[in-house]
Structure 1
Amino acid sequence: MGFIILLIYIALPIIFGFFPWTKNFAETLFGYFLNPLKNVLYGIWAFLPNLFTIIVIFLVFNYTIKGIRFLKLEIERENLKLSGFYPDWANPTFQILKVILYAFMFVLIFPYLPGSESPIFKGVSVFLGFLFTFGSAGSLSNIIAGIVLTYMRLFKIGDRVKIGEVFGDVIEKSMLVTRVKTTKNEIISIPNSTVMSSHTINYSNESENGDGLILHTTITIGYDVPWKLMHETLLKAADRTDLLLKDPNPFVLQTSLDDFYVSYQINAYTKNPNKQAGIYSDLHQNIQDCCNEVGIEILSPHYRAARDGNMVTIPANYLDKNYKAPRFKVSIHKEENK
């Protein structure tokens, strides 16, 4: 259909050209078609020098970015080491430099674009910049926070952390959010600006670079139990617990002396911070077993009982075969009348 219309448009001027009184119509119709075509061709010809300039600018920046990418890969592989520059900084630094270089390239290319001096082109550019600035204010704050977090090196992928009230393993770090997988397999996305404004605890850093993470739990025992026996019992429980280190040695702290009981805190080192829940569970089981084996009752801080005539709280399988509940003790005082 379009081809037929084009043929008719070309045929009409030719037909009009046969007659003197319609010859002007022929020239006018040809002008409607040829003048725009000539303007386009002249515009392309005039734009060729600018086009070659744009191509040269693009190639220079493109090969510059490739060179920086090569350096980034070498630093990540630790084939190239820079003093004070960590390998995990390589990729974010490359991304920042790439954005800056592309922005600078666009600034250089912009004056060579056709129509860049027209008021409409400038107005559209200002409008788009306005939308970007006010529409991405929240995203920009998260991006800036993500960059700061990267260079602060608070944590890395796989670390066990606590961010605010969120406890789990870091599974993703991006410019906008940090994703944490909790011990219950929940995936929580935290905006980087929120991470910056919250306190962060990293449980993995000392496990990898130091003696290990110290796990600790507190048990309260009455004053009737000798403290030396309690220390030995807790250390034995720590020694039985898998994934707790024997060196450095576990240790016990007496953290408080309260009205009815003493607070004992067992501390032990581990290199497995991502398995804290299982380690704590095993440690608590071993504390129960070790206390029962030596005859220590684990009582509530405000436990009340009439001991005479009642069984102890230690499980029966830890008691002597001949154990019997004590009898009630009754004392009678008789006074003689004088």
Structure 2
Amino acid sequence: MKKILKTLIISFFISCFLVITVPVVVAQKSPSPQGSPSPNQPQSAPIILGDKTLFLIQAPQSGLSVPRRAQVINRDLEKFANDQALPLEDLEIYEGDNDGIPLTSINAGNIVLMKVSNQDAEIAGKPRGKLAQEYFEKIQVALIRYRQERSTEYLLWATFRSFIATVILLIVFIIINNIFARIYQKLKAWEETYIRAVRLGNLELIRANQLDNIITGLIRVIHGAIILLLLLAYLTFVLKQFPWTRRLAKIFQGYLAETLSRGWQAFVDYGPNLLTIILVTIVTYFILRLTKPFFQQLGEGSISLPGFYPEWAEPTYRLVSFLIIALAAVVAFPFLPGFESPAFQGITVFLGILFSLGSSSVVSNLVSGSVLIYTRAFRMGDHVKIGSTYGKVLEKTLLVTRVLTPQNVVVSIPNAQISTSAIENYSFAYRDLNKPYILKTSVYLGYEVSWQEAYIALREAAKQTKGMLSSPEPFILQEQLNEVYVTYIVNVYVDEAYFQDKTLREYEQARSQLHENIRNCCIKAGITIFAPRYEADPTKYGPVKD
């Protein structure tokens, strides 16, 4: 209700503003000529009083051209019409001559409003007296009407009619809004009952809420169009009530009719192209809706294709969808309005240059992302090391890959950088080859420790670590025989099922626990662990002397 009142108040004040300001603008503008005459037709100019064209003159007179003569007559007529002290009874037809040239003039007392010459009569094809009488009658009727429409009584009635029109518009707006409010309520109530999804067999093409949104949108468009038409009719009616804005109302009506006519004609002419675009859009939509379940079943494993992995289903669907939409755009693009215009083509070239200059890195990342998907370098949730970044794959897109490190830091790596880096995947062997990941660490023991004792202690340390497999058993390798110590490599099979729901921090804690157990088992067995460049135990042999 408040919106309606606000709209009506604004409309009423706009009308009042036009009523006040338009007379000043109109008074400053001279009547426009009727256009350039053809070589076979004499030049003509209109005689206008108020918003009415009385007649046309086509002959120059007393050295005045046709437009200039019409301008002088219009000025004198308006001056006489606005002077209420000059009675209309003073109008008369006077027969005389001007320097021997016979003329018939229309006078108002001592004021000559216009003169009719024999040339005027010849062009009109009538006797001069009869032509002057016709001009006289038209001028007299126009002057009476002109003064009546500017009288106080007429203006009061015009204001009253405008007020009544405002009240009627308010009532109509209230009725229309109530009607459409009930329609919207009905559509909301019908959303789960009468408005059903559009299906093709078991495939849902258009959901019920989407269809309800489409219908509601169409109703809102109709609602807005009705409101707009009522406002235009109201403004036109109000403008016609006042003599100063009546010409503006006619111009407005003419522009509106011409705009609607051209718009409708353009719509009719564009109809085949629009139909083609609609058909291309519908066909594209249905193709996308039909292909989506197929790729969903590929991803779920319900359908299998030789050499096609389930994790490829979603990215392949995205790629196929992009290609389908791109093909539809190529087909529909030539049917867009203004496609062949130089402006449209210039904008297209400009956008293409901008895209080619600014999207080189984006295209590189997109290509690299697609390559990474189909090379199956890693999946979501895999433990990987990309370059110097170690962590769990949190998100994989066509542009970047996000990795969650053990310190809960999310590192976004551009796919173009990943494609040129070494990728270590700690989850691939277990998932695809059914081979568990082997965790290894180096231990430095002296030559005085027999390798049999070392193997027993290190195996016991590995077996005591949570998350490590007892079968197959851990194995020890002697990697290098150094000058004073031997480098042992402890290899432990990781229980991937144990770490399936664990965080990276818990995984790193298991590695730390392995080191703790190695130290404890070595101390328990009386074995001293060396460090690189270790020479002697200062607690056993005393301080090293220079």
> What TM-score bracket applies, with the shorter chain setting the length?
0.7 to 0.9
What is the CA distance between 1:21 and its match in structure 2?
4.2
Distance in 2, matches of 1:6 and 1:60, equals 52
Distance 1:213 1:206 in 2: 7
The CA deviation string for residues 206-264 of structure 1, in whole angstroms up to 9 with x for no partner, is 23342311011111111111111111111111111111111111111000111111111
Q: Of 105, 125, 142, which aligns to 2:328? A: 105
What TM-score comes out, normalization by structure 1 length? 0.82
Aligned pair count reads 306
User: d(CA) in 1 for partners of 2:51 and 2:411?
Assistant: 76
The reply to whether residue 185 of structure 1 matches residue 220 of structure 2 is: no
2-side partners of 1:189 and 1:291: how far apart?
42
Could you tell me which amino acid in structure 2 is paired with residue 119 of structure 1? P
Q: Secondary structure at the match of 2:462?
A: helix
1:39 aligns with 2:262: yes
- 1:274-294 superposed Cα distances (whole Å, 9 cap, x missing partner): 544122211111111111112
Task: Tell me whether 1:234 sits opposite 2:458 in the alignment.
Answer: yes
Unaligned runs of 5+ in 1: 311-338
The answer to whether the aligner puts 1:259 opposite 2:491 as a matched pair is no
Contact 2:298 2:304 survives alignment (8 Å): yes
What is residue 380 of structure 2 aligned with on the other side?
A: 157
Which has the bigger relative contact order, CA under 8 A and spacing at least 6? 1
1:37-76, aligned counterparts within 5 Å?
Answer: 37-76=260-299
Greater C-alpha Rg: 2
The aligned amino acid for 1:237 is A
Provide the C-alpha distance between the structure 1 equivalents of 2:388 and 2:538, rounded to a whole number of angstroms. Answer: 43
In the superposition, relative to structure 1, how do residues 154 and 309 fare at CA in structure 2: closer, same or farther (>3 Å)?
Answer: closer
Q: What is the rounded CA distance, in whole Å, between the counterparts of 1:308 and 1:55 in structure 2? A: 91
Aligned equivalent of 1:299, options 523, 530, 534: 530
Counterparts of 1:74 and 1:145 in 2: how far apart (Å)?
26
Do residues 222 (structure 1) and 454 (structure 2) align? no
* Inter-partner Cα distance in structure 2 for 1:278 and 1:54: 61
Give the partner amino acid of 1:72: F
Match of 1:313 in 2: none
SS at match of 2:489: strand
C-alpha contact (below 8 Å) 1:208/1:271 kept by paired residues: no
- 1:168 counterpart = 2:391: yes
Within the candidate set 290, 311, 322, 1:88 is matched to: 311
Partner SS state of residue 370, structure 2: helix
Give distance in 2, aligned partners of 1:157 and 1:102: 27
| Aligned 8 A contact 2:484 2:535 in 1 | no
Secondary structure of 2:357 counterpart: helix
Deviates further, 124-133 or 29-38 = 29-38
Deviations 1:302-321 (A, max 9, x none): 233577786xxxxxxxxxxx
CA contact (8 A) 1:220 1:261 kept: yes
Where 2:435 maps in the other structure, the secondary structure is coil
Q: Percent identity?
A: 35
User: What corresponds to 1:334 in structure 2?
Assistant: none
> Where does residue 289 of structure 1 map in the other structure?
520
- Bigger share in helix: 2
State the distance in 1 between where 2:369 and 2:540 align. Answer: 65
CA distance in structure 1 between the partners assigned to 2:50 and 2:304 by the alignment: 80
Matched residues in 1 for 2:429 and 2:537: separation? 45
Gaps of 5+ in 2: 1-9, 27-47, 58-69, 71-246
Which SS does the other structure have where 2:304 is aligned? coil
Give the alignment's TM-score, normalised by structure 2.
0.52
* Aligned-partner Cα distance in 1 for 2:49–2:287: 57
Q: Secondary structure at the match of 2:530?
A: coil
| Residue in structure 1 matched with residue 51 of structure 2 by the alignment | 16
Aligned CA distance change for structure 1 residues 33 and 288 (closer, same or farther; 3 Å): closer
Measured in 2, the distance between the counterparts of 1:240 and 1:56 equals: 69
Offset, 1:268: 0.9
Query: Once the 2 structures are TM-superposed, how far is the Cα of residue 298 of structure 1 from its aligned partner?
Result: 1.8
